Amino acid sequence: MLAITAKALYTPLEKIDRPMVLIQDGAILKLGPQSATEAPPKCRVTDFGDCILAPGLLDMHTHGAAGYDLMQADAEAHSRMESFLVRHGVTSYFPTTVTAPMDKTLSSLERLANAIESAKKDHNGRAQPLGIHIEGPFLSHARRGVHPPEDLQKPTLAAFDKLWQASRDNIRVMTIAPELDGALEVIAEATKRGVCVSIGHSDAKLDEARKGVAAGARHATHTFNAMRPLDHRAPGILGEVLTNPRLTAEMIADGIHVDPVVINLITKAKGIEGTILITDATAATGMPEGKYQLGAMEVEVKDGRVLHNGTLAGSVLTLDRAVRNVMNFANWDLQNAIRAASFNPAKTTGAPNKGLLQPGADADLVVLTASGEVKATIVKGVVVQ
């Protein structure tokens, strides 16, 4: 058994001063103030001093890091990338695909399913893949970003089922443009199978976005990016995303994809409950400037921007940096910023035992300074300094 203590703990819904967390067999056995929580005899105690304990971060939209692209990664590449994520406080993530030829996508889904199933058996102190986020091929040509136009597809139940079977039921998030012919049927079926359907890469008008929500969509992919612009007379998809409390909204808080002023606007519109921080990270994250892979595409990193033929193609953002950025851009405190990168994405994706520190939950924690710098990460009870 392990007991950990620190100056404070964010569950993150509430704060506990001078906490103690008891961990056994990879799960939280008990937590509370030290004054009311006693460590059993022979229990190993680790004190993190003036630091803050919080749920491990969960990135529901990432394509890679540390030089590795998740659509091509083998077991060793997954291991290296997951070790990199842990150093930035991430204990869980959703590997995310990009649009590619169908045979390559299906092969990628099979490899990602292998990684997910393997991670369930191995408490290795690395970030754990929880499910797959498919970003494409059911996207708008008008708002495709860098997704190859020749590989985009009309949404059909048959095409979705082919992806679903290749993933061995491991698809947990799907980005789709709701205005496409056939999209509403696919949204309804995916929702029935427990998928968090996210509207994005979309040129939808307001009524089309609303129909997508009525069919089951409940999230928005990288808000403002690859969406019909907000217009005061024709608000479009963004009008629905920003005003409908049934939708959570993810954002890339790097100051490049969305201006800090607009990040502040999103947080005000969606509030503490509806805002989710993601990275949309690529293989270039944590690496020097140069050329890297994003699915079947080559991208180039220069001055902090990831570009493909001059268009933004993901980011080099880490989730701990996103937490610190939203504290700066939106004047949020650390507790709320952590919530947007842990509890909110866990709730939105239906990730069991993640994002909330309570008895019975997985012992996934991040140890932070008051300014949000990562000092250590704990994955199912394994401490990684």
Amino acid at 181: D
For residue 174, which of 211, 214, 217, 210 has the smallest C-alpha distance? 217
Candidates 280, 320, 362, 364; catalytic one? 280
CB 179 within 8 A of CB 206: no
Alpha-carbon distance 58 to 76, whole Å? 21
**Phi then psi dihedrals of residue 318, to 5 deg:** -105, 155
| DSSP 3-state of 368 | strand
Helix extents (H) in the chain: 75-87, 102-119, 157-166, 183-192, 206-215, 236-243, 260-274, 319-329, 334-339, 343-349
Alpha-carbon distance 38 to 41, whole Å? 9
| DSSP 3-state of 118 | helix
Alpha-carbon distance 304 to 287, whole Å? 11
Distances (CA, A) of 355 to 30, 45, 178, 191, 345: 16, 23, 29, 22, 8
Active-site residue 280, yes or no? yes
DSSP state of 219: E
Token pair for residue 261?
């002023």
| DSSP 3-state of 256 | coil
- Which residues are CB-contacts of 49 (< 8 A; sequence separation ≥ 6)? 6, 7
| DSSP 3-state of 265 | helix
Token pair for residue 339?
């919530």
Beta-bridge mates of residue 54? 366
For residue 345, which of 183, 175, 172 has the smallest C-alpha distance? 172
325: left (phi over 0), alpha (psi -120 to 50) or beta: alpha
Instruction: Please identify every residue annotated as catalytic.
Output: 280
